[in-house]
Structure 1
Amino acid sequence: MKVDALDEKQQAVADRVLDEEEADRAHLVVSLSGAHAYGFPSPDSDLDLKSVHIEPTARLLGLFRSAASPSRMEIIDGVEIDYSSNEIHPVLLGVLQGNGNYIERIVGALKLRAAPELDGLRPLCLAALSRRIYRHYLGFATSQLKAWEGGGKASAKKLLYVLRTTLTGTHALRTGKVVIDVTELLDEYGFGAARELVEAKRAGERSELPEETRERWDGEIGRAFATLDAAHASSVLPEEPPNADDLNAWLLDLRRSRL
């Protein structure tokens, strides 16, 4: 599946890697994550391939199972690849628990591979969104903030990851929609000035910010967390996912079809 965020060489490397991995497992979906999906790729950004695979039902019932979470990191033709995959069962449990990583794999916009069954799962995943996602996005943003505050170079990337996670979480809590590209959310939530960070990051993965820019954003970043907190307090989402039985039925149908 062609993705506009990738150039011809990146697309060819991604296709090569996924063809090789599909010799060992059947992908339900492969989503492009990281800077390419978040709206601020640079020429040296790696390809972050986050996958969900389906273990054959007969293998689940038998003695020998595949590795639970296969991963692969390497550089091919100058393109850095970071591939990982999780089986559909823990992924769906994670969706119910509000795990944004798994939710984004299923409903994210940039798909490199998708099996026909994904069409039936996407609306169920969106219907399963609950206020539990607040914990995920708050935790992710907090860890990124620690990296930002931890000293060393003041990179645009670290700060953009804080904004990306707080604003994706905010938007999901307010609207029930999952938008991963932070550039689509900046203006809506009053962070249009962050486009200077986007431009800096697009210039290079390790672009360092001037001290004056860092100081200005040190005073702004708390507002991103306050925005997330406010969205949680007034969220349109239910406290708990309402359709666990529907997801269970979908998985049973999938297992039967793959026996």
Structure 2
Amino acid sequence: MVLTIHQREVAVRVLAAESSRRSHVVISLSGAHAYGFPSPDSDLDLKAVHMLPAREFLGFPRTPAPAERLEVIDGVEIDYSSNELGGVLLGLIKGNGNYFERFLSRFALSTSPTFEVLRPIVQRALSTRVGRHYFGFATQQRNEWERGGRKSAKKLLYVLRTATTGTHLLRTGELETDLSVLASRYGLGDAVELIEAKKRGEKSELADALAEKWAARIDGVFTRLVEAEKSSVLPVEPTNEAELEAALIALRST
């Protein structure tokens, strides 16, 4: 079980409350729990997609703001955010890996009939555009790790997780967010020592020698991601943009 019984109970309460405010398509677990390195003090990172009523889109054009909730409940830190379906589908066309993870992750906590309709369509929307997303996000995380003096086990693991999820997706067309599942497959088997350090606490720091070892290897992680994009099994561009739009129109019309 990824979550403890207490965390799951809190999550159920939060999801029930948020589901009373908006119609969720899917709510997925993200963050350390979905990435394979949760610690006892890790927050619950809940990423959702919701659909607003069609009447909300009549009149002047507007971009619906995401719904967000950051709160500590019974000792569990909750980080919930949800984006409206239309913007999410546009993001998929652009290769937004964050949105693909909400639909294709195996860590979905709550789904809907709409999700069941959309999931195979979303799968068909994958393209090598996701490579740019994962490269950019991993680069941002690498910069944060280096600005912090290369001390944070968590920040380094986020770099490795992001780049390796992207590499695997480009090579196989399969989305896997759990670094502990992917690490050995991509020459990162010794990342287990980082995972064990992180599981001791969110703020776990790396010994200097360990930080230096990974600093020398990190370019190779990015090189592997770039090479995966060049030889990817995915199409260069999404092949079903019209299908995504037709599905959105049909769902808004019901």
Deviation at 1:45, TM superposition (A): 0.1
- Asked if 1:85 corresponds to 2:82, the answer is yes
Look up the match of 1:149.
146
Q: Give the 5 Å matches for 1:6-17.
A: 6-17=3-14
Q: Which amino acid aligns with 1:33?
A: S
Deviation at 1:31, TM superposition (A): 0.4
Q: Note closer, same or farther for the CA distance 1:22–1:62 as it changes in structure 2 (3 Å cut).
A: farther
- Asked if 1:38 corresponds to 2:24, the answer is no
- Asked if 1:158 corresponds to 2:155, the answer is yes
Look up the match of 1:193.
190
- Asked if 1:240 corresponds to 2:237, the answer is yes
What are the ranges of 5 or more consecutive residues in structure 1 without an aligned counterpart?
none
Q: Note closer, same or farther for the CA distance 1:66–1:76 as it changes in structure 2 (3 Å cut).
A: farther
Q: Give the 5 Å matches for 1:85-164.
A: 85-152=82-149, 154-164=151-161
Give the distance between the partners of 2:7 and 2:15, measured in 1 at CA: 12
Deviation at 1:256, TM superposition (A): 1.4
- Is the contact between residue 59 and residue 65 of structure 1 (CA under 8 Å) also seen in structure 2? no
Give the distance between the partners of 2:157 and 2:239, measured in 1 at CA: 32
Look up the match of 2:220.
223
Which digits, 9 at most, give the CA deviation of each residue in 1:22-46, with x for residues without a partner? 1210100000000000010000000
- Asked if 1:251 corresponds to 2:229, the answer is no
Deviation at 1:88, TM superposition (A): 0.2
Look up the match of 1:213.
210
Deviation at 1:64, TM superposition (A): 11
- Is the contact between residue 53 and residue 87 of structure 1 (CA under 8 Å) also seen in structure 2? yes
Higher helix share: 2
Give the distance between the partners of 2:171 and 2:192, measured in 1 at CA: 23
SS at match of 1:246: helix
Deviation at 1:61, TM superposition (A): 2.7
SS at match of 1:84: strand
Give the distance between the partners of 2:29 and 2:88, measured in 1 at CA: 17
Give the distance between the partners of 1:70 and 1:136, measured in 2 at CA: 22
Deviation at 1:71, TM superposition (A): 0.4
Runs of 4+ in 1 over 4 A off after TM superposition: 62-67
* TM-score of the aligned structures, taking structure 2 as reference length: 0.96
Deviation at 1:116, TM superposition (A): 1.3
- Compute the RMSD of aligned alpha carbons: 1.6
Give the distance between the partners of 2:132 and 2:64, measured in 1 at CA: 28
- Is the contact between residue 150 and residue 211 of structure 2 (CA under 8 Å) also seen in structure 1? no
What are the ranges of 5 or more consecutive residues in structure 2 without an aligned counterpart?
none
- Is the contact between residue 126 and residue 177 of structure 1 (CA under 8 Å) also seen in structure 2? no
The number of equivalent residue pairs is: 254
Give the distance between the partners of 1:237 and 1:100, measured in 2 at CA: 14
* TM-score of the aligned structures, taking structure 1 as reference length: 0.94
Identity of aligned residues (%): 54
Q: Note closer, same or farther for the CA distance 1:65–1:238 as it changes in structure 2 (3 Å cut).
A: closer
